[in-house]
Chains A and B, each alone.
Chain A
Amino acid sequence: MRRGALWRLFYRASLGDHAYKFLFEPGPPGEAVALDCETTGLDPRRDEILAVAAVRIRGNRILTSERFQAIVRPEAGQPGAESIKVHQLRRRDLVDARPMRQLLPALLRFIGGRPLVGYYIDFDIRMLDRAAMDLIEVKLPNPRIEVSALYYDRKYGDAPPGTVFDLRFASLLRDLGIPPLPAHDALNDAVMAAMAYLALRDLQARGVRIPRERQSRQALPPIVG
């Protein structure tokens, strides 16, 4: 968000289609949108979005009844067999799919100016940015709320040097007691991120920390901070 202010101004000025000015207006107070993309891979320059889902959060509620959910038809032909297996999308599922260009206007209107919530949300936004650049010549200007950062703060914010961090989504869900929904489903991932966000926000408001279990250094990938 730090780098945001200037870019925001820039994109606001360079917005190709002024019908999308609402992206730059602040969203309704107390609202946010949890977002998740399922993609063919982890390279935002080359990989494609397969599915996208977003749910609105209002106050302490996750409005799953008003969700945005779509299967995307990749521009560069059919997705590889590998991603079909991981995301349990078959070619048959892709029949109803539409290209991102066609889906994006509805998605942007669904999001509006609300902050975007997600686990490694930067990645999802970068994936969407490519389509947004094509469509309206801007990147998504929405404020971002990174769930893993909130989690880091609650769990490791006061950790002594040398502490091993574990920011995996599964660990985060376990610490917060959120029952895991079937993974690799964009809507489920967005809902789980939203649940985690509400829980972490409440812990933050109450000044409650997540206890760190005794370290088992060998077991975890050492990301020393």
Chain B
Amino acid sequence: MPNGFDASNPPFDRLTQPEIGELRAALDIAYLAPGEAVLRPGQAAEHLHVVIKGAVEARDGETLNAVLGPKDSFDSRALVHGAAGEAFVAAEETLCYLIPRALVLDLIARNPGFAAFFYSEVSAKLDAFARSHRAEGMESVLRARVGEASRGPALLLPGDASIQAAARQMQEAHINAAFVRDGARTGVVTGMNLAKAVLLRGLPPETPVREACHFDVIAVEAGDFIFDALLLMTRHDKRRIAVRSGGAFTGFLEDIHILGLVAGNSQLIPGRIDRARGVEELAGPAQDIQRQVERLHRQGVKVEQIAEITSDLNRRLFVRLFELLAPPAIRAQGCLVIMGSEGRGEQTVRTDQDNGLLLEGPVPEAELAGFRTTFSAALAAFGFPPCPGGVMVSNPLWSQPVEGLVRQLRLWIMERTPEAAMNLAIFFDAVAVTGRAGLLAEAKQAMATALRDDRALIARFASLVEAFETPALGMLSGLMERVGLAPDAIDIKKAGIFPVVQGIRAMALDRGVMVPSTAGRIEALAAAGSLSEAFGRELLSALRVFMEYRLRAQLEAVQRGRLEHEAMVAPGALSAADRDILRDAFRIVREFRELLRNRYALAGFG
């Protein structure tokens, strides 16, 4: 086929021009009648099939796992690893390109980019494919706006202030440069200028600061590209230039800030959080934490690392906010905890606040009431949406003395409703952020003790994974289109992330594994022999895949202002390679459900 085969369809876009020529020369075309089985489970394949038209079902006995359509290919496992994981059956009249196995293996050996598609580990495959469309690293930094780079707060000193006063103010504001207003002129003074004025020129500390500053200010507009700023810096041999916005100086851009853009400016945020002297000063860094998620993602940082950086920064933010808002009694008696995805360290784009307050003993009721409102409201103002389930400090259920909470946990254990199980699940992920961490350990221990050997409850817990079906990729699209509805979308949170997180959580609860992160739990469960190490890796791999696609969906939803779509992924809008990766990840989820079903005899739960 000289020109019929679409070589821009991943993974074939990784091939070089001569390789594409070779591939096209070797192609055959197969016609499949409806119901015709192409591959049976365990069978080795002689060809890689690429669907031209029609539909092929991937089946596991009675279960329909996926429907493959044009441009989808199958089955890399049968081809490379010698055994198909599923049966492939034509659902309608189907035409497929056939690429001979020997040629595919040859191309795999020659072309590492192409080979990545055939990796057995799904997250490695994702990484290899994600890398290419993000090779922009430095490029994206240069195209960022000056305003996006972090800058110190603008400090404006009157020209007649003494250099001593100037030094003191700059010290308090943790900045190394300030603007000086002298009549109609504006100048800049740096810490180095002040030091030189005193030490080298011998000026007395009372000298007006205008004597020590310079007025030839090099400035860049906040809306300019970093690229422009870099040019200015190079041209004038400056490591720091002034930033102007709306005709006024708003701060400085330093070379270190530009460096910060390269890997996100995460290293600058902690300082700004610690320096905040009021709740309103935390709003800036709080926004920066969120903004850098997008930037880190754009630069190709892996989703688990983004989550780690983000949750580390969020925790600092919570600590500082707690210090700023909690009255002394609460600070002395309390323990601030975060739960759910925040506790597991798996949140990237903020979805909700899951937090609580444990108290050693009673505190003044009015103070507690005030703290409940202000703390949750401040977080909401920072962009942490309130938790729909009310798992927040503002809810008295989640901000009370530890005995009260332990009683509540016991009640939930006895209640046996899905809601109660969900509350227990969220609490099981709790992490102490600041204050008396011992209180949380105590409450968790009490919960674990109450649950020990309670097989029925752990099974109830595990049964929550059955709440949402794992979708058969592509199955809905045809149906929905036929009835004229919008093309389907998969809720990746419900169908992918939740079953893995919840199943692992149930197993961790069962084995008394107290680590909060899913990765840590999987590791501990594998060490304890509850999971095979290989399957543990696959699960983690699948979770990362889901987190990555969810993050992409979230960032897009944020961009379009349609937050309700934050976890929706439309398979039709994905490339064939992306669909293939997701399909693999969903296969792992199905295997995991099966494992849970057998282990906890879930058949009894409807």
Output the least CB separation between A222 and chain B (Å). Answer: 30
* A179 engages B31 (CB within 8 Å): no
A79 shortest CB reach to chain B, Å: 21
0/1 interface trace, chain A 181-194, chain B, CB 8 Å (1 if under)? 11001011001001
A179 proximity list for chain B (CB < 8 A): 52-53, 70
Is B591 on the interface with A (CB-CB < 8 A)?
no
Of all chain A residues, which has the CB nearest B34? A206
Q: Which residue of A lies closest to B36 (CB)?
A: A60
| Cβ-based interface call for A138 (8 A) | no
Contact bitstring B1-15, A, C-beta under 8 A = 1, else 0: 111100000000000
Interface string of B67-109 (1 = CB under 8 A from A): 0001000000000000000000000010100101000000000
Task: Please give, as numbers and ranges, the residues of chain B lying within 8 Å of A188 by CB-CB distance.
Answer: 2-4
Residues of B within 8 A of A65 (CB): 25-28, 100
Q: A148 → chain B, closest Cβ, in Å?
A: 18
How far apart are the CA atoms of A98 and B443 in the complex, in Å?
Answer: 88
A176 on the interface (CB 8 Å rule)? yes
Whether B53 contacts A177 by the Cβ 8 Å rule is yes
Report the minimal beta-carbon distance from B295 to chain A, rounded to whole angstroms. Answer: 40
Flag whether B30 is at the interface (Cβ < 8 A): yes
Instruction: Tell me if B457 is interfacial: C-beta within 8 Å of chain A.
Output: no
B54 lies within 8 A of chain A by Cβ: yes
Contact residues in A for B4 (Cβ distance below 8 Å): 181-182, 188, 191
Asked if A61 contacts B28 (CB within 8 A), the reply is: yes
Q: Is the C-beta of A104 less than 8 angstroms from some C-beta in chain B?
A: no
Q: Cβ of A47 < 8 Å from any Cβ of B?
A: no
**Cβ of A61 and Cβ of B29 under 8 Å apart?**
yes
Q: Which of A2-10, A15-23, A195-203 contacts B (4 or more CB under 8 A)?
A: A195-203
Cβ A61 vs Cβ B31 within 8 A = yes
Candidates A177, A195, A202; contact of B29 at CB < 8 Å: A195
Q: How far is the CB of B78 from chain A (nearest CB, A)?
A: 18
Distance in Å: Cβ of B404 to nearest Cβ of chain A = 66
Please determine whether B3 and A63 come into contact, CB atoms closer than 8 angstroms: no
- Per the bound structure, the CA–CA distance linking A194 and B33 in Å amounts to 15
In the assembled complex, A64 has its CB within 8 A of some CB on chain B: yes
Instruction: Tell whether B32 is near chain A: CB-to-CB under 8 Å.
Output: yes
B27 & A178 in contact (Cβ 8 Å cutoff): no
Q: A60–B3 contact, CB under 8 A? A: no
Highest count of chain A CB atoms <10 Å: which of B31, B93, B100: B31
Are A62 and B26 within 8 A (Cβ)?
Answer: no
- With A and B bound together, what is the CA distance between A62 and B4 in angstroms? 13
- List B contacts of A187 (CB < 8 A): 1-2
- Closest chain A CB from B139 CB (angstroms): 35
Distance to closest chain B CB from A150 (angstroms): 14
Tell me the complex Cα distance, A178–B28, Å.
Answer: 16
Q: Report the Cα distance A194→B30, complex, angstroms.
A: 10
Report the nearest A residue to B92, measured CB to CB: A177
- What are the residues of chain B within 8 A of A60 when measuring CB–CB? 30-33
Q: Is A178 a contact of B29 with CB atoms below 8 Å?
A: no
Docked Cα-Cα span, A139 to B32, in Å, equals 35
A202 and B2 in contact (CB under 8 A), knowing A176-B93, A177-B54, A178-B53?
no
A60-B33, A195-B95, A202-B33 known; A181 and B3 CB under 8 Å? yes
Closest residue of A by beta carbon distance from B53:
A177
Number of interface residues of A (CB under 8 A): 24
- Known contacts A62-B31, A64-B28, A65-B28; A185 and B3 CB within 8 A of each other: yes
| Complex CA distance for A181 and B3, rounded to whole angstroms | 8
Q: Is the CB of B52 within 8 A of A198?
A: no
Contact partner of A62 (CB less than 8 A), chosen from B25, B28, B54, is B28
CB neighbours of B27 from chain A (8 A): 64-65
Q: Are B93 and A61 in contact (CB under 8 A)?
A: no
Chain B residues whose CB sits within 8 angstroms of the CB of A191 once the complex forms? 1, 4, 29
List A contacts of B95 (CB < 8 A).
178, 195, 198-199
Give the CA-CA distance A191 to B4 in the complex, in Å. 9
A206 CA to B92 CA, complexed, in Å: 12
- With the chains together, A213 CA to B28 CA distance in Å? 33
Q: Given A188-B4, A191-B4, are A64 and B93 neighbors across the interface (CB < 8 Å)? A: no
Residue of A whose beta carbon sits closest to that of B26: A65
B93 adjacent to A177 (CB under 8 Å) = yes
C-alpha spacing A177/B31, complex, angstroms: 13
Q: Roughly how many angstroms separate A41 CA and B32 CA in the complex, as a whole number?
A: 36
A206 touches B33 (CB 8 A): yes
- CB closest residue in chain A, given B29: A62
A60 to B25: give the CA distance in the assembly, Å.
Answer: 19
Measured CB to CB, the nearest residue on chain B to A178 is B53
Contacts of A177 in B (CB 8 A): 53-54, 93
Using Cβ atoms and an 8 Å threshold, which residues of chain A touch B100? 65
Q: What are the interface flags for A150-183 relative to B under an 8 Å C-beta threshold, 1 for contact and 0 otherwise? A: 0000000000000000000000000011110110
Whether A63 contacts B28 in the complex (CB less than 8 A), given A177-B54, A181-B3, comes out as yes
Assembly CA distance A59 to B26 (angstroms): 18
Bound Cα distance A187, B27 (Å)? 13
List CB contacts (< 8 Å) of B14-51 with chain A.
25-34
Q: How far is the CA of A61 from the CA of B97 in the complex (A)?
A: 10
Q: Which residues of A contact B52 (CB under 8 A)?
A: 179
Q: What separation, in Å, do the CA atoms of A206 and B1 have in the docked complex?
A: 29
Contact with A along B555-566 (1 / 0, CB 8 A): 000000000000
Please report the C-alpha to C-alpha distance between residue A185 and residue B3 in the assembled complex, in whole angstroms.
10
Chain A contacts for B53, CB-based, 8 A: 177-179
* B532 vs chain A, min Cβ distance (A): 40
Chain A neighbourhood of B54, CB < 8 A:
177
Contact B3 A64 (CB under 8 A): no
Q: Which residue of A lies closest to B25 (CB)?
A: A65
Cα distance, A179 to B93, chains bound together (Å): 13
- On chain B, the residues within 8 Å of A198 by CB distance are 31, 95
Q: How many angstroms from the CA of A187 to the CA of B52 in the assembled complex?
A: 17
Among A64, A181, A188: residue with most chain B CB under 10 A: A64
**Chain B min CB distance to A39 (Å):** 20
Interface residues of A in 23-68 (CB under 8 A from B): 60-65
Chain A residues whose C-beta falls within 8 Å of the C-beta of B3 in the assembled complex: 181-182, 185, 188
Give min CB distance, B85 to chain A, whole Å. 24
Q: Which residue of A lies closest to B97 (CB)?
A: A64
B363 to chain A, nearest CB (A): 71
Across-interface contacts of B32 in A (CB, < 8 A): 60
Nearest residue, chain B, Cβ from A180:
B4
Minimum CB–CB distance from B2 to chain A (whole Å) comes to 6
Q: Which residue of A lies closest to B3 (CB)?
A: A182
Known: A181-B4, A191-B29. 17 other contacts (CB 8 A): A60-B31, A61-B28, A62-B28, A62-B30, A63-B28, A65-B100, A176-B93, A178-B53, A179-B70, A185-B2, A188-B3, A194-B29, A198-B31, A199-B93, A202-B31, A202-B93, A206-B34
Q: What are 7 sample pairs from A and B whose C-beta atoms fall under 8 A apart?
A: A60-B33, A63-B28, A65-B27, A181-B3, A185-B2, A198-B31, A199-B93
Give A contacts to B, CB under 8 Å: 60-65, 176-179, 181-182, 185, 187-188, 191, 194-195, 198-199, 202-203, 205-206
Residue numbers of B with Cβ under 8 A of A are 1-4, 25-34, 52-54, 70, 93, 95, 98, 100
Q: Which 3 A-B pairs have the closest CB atoms?
A: A198-B31, A62-B29, A181-B4
